[in-house]
Structures are given as C-alpha cells and as structure tokens.
Amino acid sequence: MAPTDLIDKLAGIEPGSALDAIRAKRLQARENAQKSYLSLFEPIDAGDVSLLERAAVAAFVTGLHGESPVATFYRDKLAATTGGAALLEAIDAEIARGQTSGPYGSFPPGPLSVENTAGLIYRVGAASKSALGPRLVAALEHAHLLVFRPRDAASDDMKALLAAGWSNTGIVTVSQLVAFLSFQVRVVSGLRTLAAVNA
C-alpha cells in the first residue's frame, strides 16, 4: 500500500512542519494528487494497462528526469511488482539511452517555427526489445515523446501504439501516467528545494 500521502513522503515532509502547513493550505490539490496516484498505480481493475506495464513506464519516465527520491521509489516499485525484477536491466539501459534535455521538436509552419529545436528521436535499443516486448517498447517510445517532444506528437505515433497491441483506452492511460509522473517529479523537486532553502 502507498503511504497516506506519497508526495509528502518523497519530499520528506514531516507532520506539523512548515511545509506540511503550506501543503495543508491546498488540501484539495494535496488529496487529488494522492487520489491520482492510487487510481493510476493501485487501481481496483488494471484494465488495459497491467500493473507491471504501469510500473515499467513509471520507472522509465522518472528515471529520465534524473536521480531523485521519485525515481528510486518507482524503480523499487517495479522491482517489487510481479515480473518487474526481470525488466530492471532493460529499463536502466533505456533510461541511459534516452537521457537528453528538452522540450524540443518542431511547431507547424508559422510564427512559432523560429522556436523549433532539434533533439534526440528516441527508439528502444535492439538489446532491450526482447526483454520488454512490443507493447512496452511502444509505450517507452511514446513516453519519451511526451516528456521531451510533445509538440511532435502525431497520428503516426498513435498508430504505432495500436500496432503494438495497445487499445485506445490503454494509450490514454499510458499518456495519463506520463503526465502525472512529470507533475509529481516537479512538485517533489520544488518542495525539497523549498525545504533546503528554509532549513
């Protein structure tokens, strides 16, 4: 089971602390973030995205953001998920392969085109494909796209996920996972920075 509030745990917030009081002022946001975690990672019915797939995507996405308590939490979560330990080596290899900075990509032709920025077009390495399987290969490539090149997302990317065996519902769920994880990483990082400044 997840702790009462995962963000508090990952940010090192103690009950009664100054940061606890700050978070308490936005109680609804605090509660909704925890509810989002539970619905995405401890669902009553995993449906079209297995718990293993959720944990693998989470370990990959948070790993791309760099060393942090959040990345450690989701790597440990993957290791503790049935079948997850067998994926750790491949996920670690793909995190290293996918490391870059962003966001980057191209806007449609027009005034924003001056902001176009080239960057890594990530593809899972051949050595990892057999361990991950086609669904996770497609999911990791999609996750990397959303993290670093969201402006490049196109219908062909959806077709690649469908071809790998993802349903429309599964694609939405994976995309929600990526969005939530990116939010969670940033919130925890911000709170930990605030705590360090006020220490």
Q: Tens digit of pLDDT for each residue in 168-198? A: 999 999 999 999 999 999 999 988 888 777 7
Contact 173, 157 (CB under 8 A): no
- What does the pLDDT look like over 83-130, one tens digit per residue? 999 999 999 999 999 999 878 888 778 887 878 788 888 999 999 999
Give the per-residue pLDDT at 3.
52
Give the domain ranges of the chain.
66-199
Q: Is the dihedral of CA 63, 67, 72, 73 positive or negative?
A: negative
pLDDT at 1 over 50: no
| Cα(119)–Cα(78) distance, integer angstroms | 29
Confidence of residue 53 (pLDDT cuts 50, 70, 90): very high
Name 105's bridge partners: 117
